[in-house]
Amino acid sequence: MTERLVKRLTKYCRSDWYEFSHIHPSLEGIKNRNLKAIIEIERFIGIKLELRKLEHQRWIQIDLNNSDYDAVFVHTKNPNRDDYPIEFEIGRITKSNGSKYKRFINAFTKNGYNAFKMLGRPTIVAKIK
């Protein structure tokens, strides 16, 4: 990670609460859906928040149609909504869409994530086990 990105993520991790807050790697100069870099961002955020003992959910969302929408999300109890923790709606992978989803699911599973297709969207969600 660049020094600029480390500073940005360190500042991002100082918040007391998050409401579907997210970082788009593409806006941080990471192009071409670099899964290694996305996982590195997620783990950096996780370490920082765990050191603060902030109860939270975090996940990686991969949009199969547009990598600019890929993001690392953080969510906590917050003053705006009573929706923590988030429950995800899991969709089925069919033969027609299987190969494009399975590639990402396998990549995340190998790195210790639970990965699944999000219901009704061309999206993979990868959560920490």
What are the tens digits of pLDDT across the range 7-25?
999 999 999 999 999 999 9
What are the tens digits of pLDDT across the range 63-82?
888 888 999 999 999 999 99
Residue ranges of the domains in the chain?
3-128
Higher pLDDT, 11 or 29: 11
Half-sphere exposure of 89 (CA within 13 A, CB side): 4
Position 74 scores a pLDDT of 96
Residue 21 pairs in a beta bridge with: 74
Q: Is the pTM of this model over 0.85?
A: yes
Q: Stretch 32-48: mean pLDDT, rounded?
A: 91
Model confidence at 96, pLDDT cuts 50, 70, 90, reads low
